[in-house]
A and B are shown apart, each in its own frame.
Chain A
Amino acid sequence: MLAIDAAAHSSPWRRVHPAVKGTLFGGLLACALVLPVWPGAALSALAALAVGFGPARVPPRAFARAAWVPLLFVLTGAVTMLVSVGGPDAVLAWAPDGWRRAAEVAGRAAAALCCQLMFAFSTPLADLLPRLARLGLPTALVETVALTYRMLFVLLDTARRIRTAQAGRLGYQTRAAWVRSLGVLGAAVFVRSFERARRMRRGLECRGYEGELTVLVDTPPVRPAALLAAALPPLSVAAAALHPGMWP
């Protein structure tokens, strides 16, 4: 399994309704994007981290491992705002007020990333997919998406095994060998994915498959009190950020 999904499945908030978690982390995400970066984004990030590492017990190491690549993207992108190109005096020069702009973008994106990751670390994708149909998406499409989700872990495992076998035969020693091995790996995954789909169809037909993949979905009721409690942190952040004279 992938680290984020594995952590989500073992999260103590696994049984909390996705709408409640969506209200909490989605609300904080909206605060991070819409409110002034100081203190709005900072408070949103703090609230998301406090809730995530506190009651939701998101593993900090897995969180850091998932966050570093997008954070590097954010930082690299922000660094480009420090310089200006093609000015009248020099081809490359420090951008006026560039550091402020870079800090604002990086701060906002880092806060938003915290909210997104905390939601992902506490909500398995398997809990979200069946609810897509309730949003009005066609059942056929939702079932195709759910099938993709169910198949991708097996295929990822297949790809990992093939790659290990190839590496054991020195298949990744040179760049040319890497390209060849990767081509073989891609082709093998394609063939196996289609073969697996065919075998699944045969298995389903033996069980009376007529085109509908009905599965039982655990549907805990959405309690209004829980929704209200989830909305409190974003509302508090918004109120605190918009309160004039409270912050330096």
Chain B
Amino acid sequence: MTTIHEVLESWSHNMHIAEGFLPPVHAVAWTVAAAPFVLHGARSVTLAVRADPDAKLLLGASGAFCFVLSALKIPSVTGSCSHPTGAGLGAILFRPPVMAALGTVTLLFQALLLAHGGLTTLGANVFSMAVVGPWVGYGGYRLVRRLTARLPETTALGFAVFAGAALASLSTYSVTSLQLALAFPDAGSGVLGAFAKFGAIFSITQIPLAVIEGLVTVVIVRLLSTVARDELLRLAVLRSAAGGSAAPAGGRAV
């Protein structure tokens, strides 16, 4: 018998809007909204590959890493497990424009290989998970990085990564709630009431999950700063010994 845990779990570990759940007009509108970001990301990827054919292999590996990251199981507040969005870590490592492209690929694969999310709802899911999540997460990361510039590198990086990952996760779920609220406004209180309803269901699981995802991401980046220092320097996540800032490498992933 399905328990309340399983119901909450289905929302927490499959936050992708299911196939056919959105009215066609909304599905098209969100696809149009996500399209410029995805096209920009696809252009970044294409330019990176044309400039350096070896980048293709590393970008392929990055895409596969994003997919595997979203398949990892993290402990959920309901006692079962959930999956991280990976939007924050992806944005910190590869930058939001590239994440828009890699995230779209990941979501397409999830729809066709795992039945998580749909094809007609791909645009809506891309907008929340591959556009808003990475941009908000990356914004939070950069802001905290700037605010903690005087702290030691490891501490500053830890705070910034936590903020980036947790904010990316929370913003993803907030946008999904908004998408559902716009599609199905409440009979009495309209979009605002519907947003409160969907948000209330998500918040039971998603706020603790965002914190856990933030902590897991801090552990990942701390380990990477030891065992894969060269990669993080190349991706401009770590400041170079010469004191250079973590400036994005022109939106390039590798």
Contacts and interface: CB of A to CB of B under 8 A. Distances in A.
Interface in A163-193: 175, 178-180, 182-187, 189-191, 193
Contacts of A196: 61
Nearest to B20: A112
A238 B72 CA distance: 42
Interface residues of A, number: 88
A85 B201 CA distance: 13
Interface string A146-174: 11111110111001000000000000000
Contact of A70 (B19, B113, B228): B19
B16 to A, nearest CB: 8
A171 to B, nearest CB: 12
A65 B240 CA distance: 48
A84 interface: yes
A72 B49 contact: no
A178 B65 contact: no
A80 interface: yes
Interface residues of B, number: 80
Contact of B187 (A76, A96, A105, A148): A96
A87 B113 contact: no
5 contacts: A109-B20, A156-B71, A183-B216, A189-B69, A190-B220
Interface of B: 2, 6-7, 10-11, 13-14, 16-21, 24, 42, 45-46, 49-50, 53-54, 56-65, 67-69, 71-75, 89, 93, 101-102, 105, 109, 111-116, 118-120, 180, 184, 186-189, 192-194, 196-198, 201, 212, 215-220, 222-224, 227-228, 231
Nearest 4 pairs between A and B by C-beta?
Answer: A183-B219, A112-B20, A147-B60, A211-B53
Interface of A: 2, 4-5, 29, 32-34, 66-67, 69-77, 80-81, 83-88, 93, 95-98, 101, 105, 108-113, 115-117, 120, 125, 128, 137-138, 140-141, 143-152, 154-156, 159, 175, 178-180, 182-187, 189-191, 193-194, 196-198, 200-201, 204, 209-211, 213
